[in-house]
Structures are given as structure tokens and as C-alpha cells.
Amino acid sequence: MHRYIAKRLLMLIPVLICVSFVIFFIMDLAPGDPALIIAGDQATDEMIEKVKEDYGFNDPLLVRYANYMKGLVKGDLGTSYVSKKDVWATYCQRFPATAKLSVAAIVVSLVLSLTLGVYSAVNQNTWKDNVSVVLALLGLSMPQFWLGLLLIIAFALNLGWFPSGGDTGTWKCLVLPAITIGTNNAALMTRTTRSSMLDVIRQDYLCTARAKGVSEKRVINHHALRNALIPIITIAGVQFAYILGGAVLVETVFAWPGVGRLIVDSINMRDIPMVTGCVVITTMIVCVVQLLVDILYAYVDPRIKAQYTK
């Protein structure tokens, strides 16, 4: 198991090199002169040239990339062209809000999807199943920004139960954005749960359990659901990593100070160090989350654990 984890962590290195190069290359190709942004639109040609010289923009792409990687190896992600702040410090300032929202959203997704998915599978081909499927489709097809605004109008403006936006440090401010993201994600997970449960629900070992007098509730929740969990964990892991990368729309609607808005603002301002730094860190986080998901498989399914041990 430890060897497997070490191997996966080592694989991070080439992944990070590739990702950083691709993003560096793309930002270089993107139109818009960063020197002009730094110098300001009232800058003279001499000022712009000085900025290019100072920031090394006149160097070839590979030289600039090599310099960037030298810093990265030392843990230096560079300094923002716009705010002149350290990229790592800026990311760290934003990440807690994103992490909080991601965890809350995935909890909402799991609660909704497991409940609806299991209920739907157990009541296959009945009106209850149809209602669950329609609800899942509704969640999937509803644009997040629209759902977010509806929730704000209903629960912040009219009922006054939750704040309308911002991270005020209380649990209340998490509720609406988490429901917005969670509902959308839950739709896909509900369908996965349903189909996974349907695969398991007619297995012989469940009939055996029933024949032994195990209650239906225990059969479903303990025997069936546990065996149906692997695909659900896979989807949940992917979605969790996705939200950790920043949910731009929801962050914008709820004025949530997350990583997504930071990246989009930085792209608009051609803040190359900030964009590259954020993408590199996000890549690392996504890889680590995927690794954690793989490890989780082993705890859910002993057969997989046995494979790791081999």
C-alpha cells in the first residue's frame, strides 16, 4: 500500500511539469501584452520596454519557463504582476473558502444522491422511481447561477434565513452556495447510485441475506449500498476535485472568495504567475484527491485492498 502511494506521489512530478508547461505556453500564446498591463495604458514605449526587460519578457519562452521552474522547485510560485503579492500567499488566502465550500457541497451531493438514488432503485419502475429520476434531471439541467439567484431571493431576501453572499465565517453563509453546487452534482450522482444499486440489488447474496431473516433496511443499507459504493466514490471524487479547482459561477453569484474567481480574474488581467501558480497547485490537489479516492476504495472493498497488498 505504501509503495503504491509513493509511486502515485512520484507520478505527480511529470504531471506538474506537463501542466505547468502547457499553461505557460497557452498564456504566452494568448493575445494581450502583459508588459502593457503592468506598465498601464498610459505608459510610454520606453516604460513598456523597461517592464519587458525587468520581467524578462524579452527572453525566449523556454528560458522564461526554465526560470519559472527553478523558482517552483524552491517553492517559489512567483509574484502577481497585478497585486505584486506572493502567488502562494494569495492562493492560501483563498483556498480555505474553497475547501469549506467543496466539503459542504459534496456532503449535500452525497446526502441527496444516496437518498434519492437508493430510494429510486428500491422502487424501480414505480411512480416514486419516476419522481426521483425527474428530480435528478431537474437538478442536472438547472443552470447553477439561476438556481443560486432563486435561492438567494427565496432564503436571503424573502425569508431572511441566510446571508445573501460572502464568507462571513458562520455556517449559515455556506448553506446556499453548497446547496447550489450540491444539487447540480447530486443529479449525476443520483443516477450513478441508482444504476449501481440496481446492479447489486438482485445479487444472490442479498437473497441469502433476506432468507436469513435480515431486515430489508439492513439488506439495502449495509449489504447492497456498500457494494454499490465504488462507482459513487469515483464520481464523488471527481466532482470534489472539480469544485476544489473553483466553482466560478457560484462563487460569482454568492460573492464567495474562492479560488475560481481568483483564477478567472487573473486570466482576464494576464497575470501569468498567478494563473500558472493556481493551476499548478490545483493540479496537485486534484491528483492528491484522486489518490485519496483510490485509497478509499481499499477501505470500502477488501478485494481491492488485497490487490494493493500484492
Partner 1 sequence: MKMEVSVMKRRMLALFLGITLTMGMVGCSNSSNSTTKDNLQSNTLAGDTAPVESPPSENATFKNPIIVGLANVFTTSDPQNTSSITNQIFYTVSHSNLLKWDYDTQQYMPDLADSYDVSDDGMVYTFHLNKDAYFHNDEPVKASDIIYTFNRGKDFSFVAAKVQIIESMKAIDDNTLEITLSGPSTGFLFDITNPNMAILSEKALTEMGEEGTTIGSGAYYYEAIDFGNEVTMVRFDKYFKELPKTETLIFRQYAEDATRVIALQTGDIDYCQTPSTMELEYIAADDNLDLIQMKGTRLNYMVMNVSEEHGAPFKDIRVRQAINMAINKDDVAAVAANGFGEVQNYYFTDISAGFYGGMDGYNYDVEAAKALLADAGYADGFSFSVLCHDSTARAIAPVLQAQLAAIGVTMHIEEVETAVRNSMIKNNEHDACMAAHVSLVSIDNNLRLLFYTDSGNNRMKYTNSEFDAKLDAALIEQDSAKRQEMYDELQTFVVDEALCVPLYVETLNIAKKSSLHGIKINATGCHDFTYAYIEE
Ramachandran sector of residue 56 (left: φ over 0; alpha: ψ -120 to 50; beta: rest) = left
Which of 254, 260, 279, 282 is in the footprint of partner 1 by CB under 8 A? 254
Show the cell assigned to 208.
441469502
Nearest approach, Cβ of residue 27 and partner 1 (Å): 11
Distance CA 190, CA 196 (A): 10
Piece in contact with partner 1 (CB under 8 A), picked from 98-106, 136-144, 267-275, 280-288:
267-275
For the segment 173-232, give every residue that binds partner 1 (CB under 8 A): none
Decide: residue 90, CB within 10 A, 0-12 exposed, 13-18 middle, 19+ buried.
buried
Residue ranges of alpha helices (H) inside 56-166 are 61-73, 87-122, 127-141, 144-151
Number of shown-chain residues binding partner 1 (CB under 8 A):
45
Quote the CA–CA distance of 192 and 198 in Å, as a whole number.
10
The DSSP call for residue 171 is: T
Is residue 29 a contact point for partner 1 (CB under 8 A)?
no
Query: Is the Cβ of residue 101 or residue 112 nearer to partner 1 in the bound state?
Result: 101
Q: Cα(first)–Cα(last) distance of the chain, in Å?
A: 9
Burial of 173 (0-12, 13-18, 19+ CB in 10 A): buried
Least distance from C-beta 44 to partner 1, angstroms? 7
Q: Is 309 exposed, middle or buried (0-12, 13-18, 19+ CB in 10 A)?
A: exposed
| DSSP 8-class letter at 300 | H
Q: Does 163 help bind partner 1 (rule: CB under 8 A)?
A: yes
Looking at the Cβ atoms of 56 and 166, the one nearer to partner 1 is 166
Q: How far is the CB of 201 from partner 1 (least distance, A)?
A: 43
Closest CA to 113 of 135, 144, 84: 135
Give 8-14's long-range contacts (Cβ < 8 A, gap of 24+). 8/287, 8/291, 8/294, 9/291, 11/287, 12/284, 12/287
Of the candidate residues 255, 291, 293, 295, the single one contacting partner 1 (CB under 8 A) = 255
Place of cell 431473516: 213
Binding piece for partner 1, criterion CB under 8 A, among 8-16, 26-34, 103-111, 182-190? 26-34
234 scored as a contact of partner 1 (CB under 8 A): no
Q: Which range of residues in 155-163, 180-188, 189-197, 285-293 is near partner 1 by CB under 8 A? A: 155-163
Given candidates 165, 182, 246, 260, which one binds partner 1 under the rule CB under 8 A?
A: 165
CA distance 60 to 67: 11
Map residues 58-97 to x or -, x wherever contact with partner 1 holds by CB under 8 A: ----------------------x-xxxx----x--xx---
Give the residue with the Cβ less far from partner 1, 44 or 309.
44
Interface residue with partner 1 among 164, 195, 234, 290 (CB under 8 A) is 164
Residues that bind partner 1 (CB under 8 A): 31-34, 36-37, 39-44, 47-48, 50, 80, 82-85, 90, 93-94, 145, 149, 152-153, 156-157, 160, 163-166, 252-255, 257, 261-262, 265, 268-270
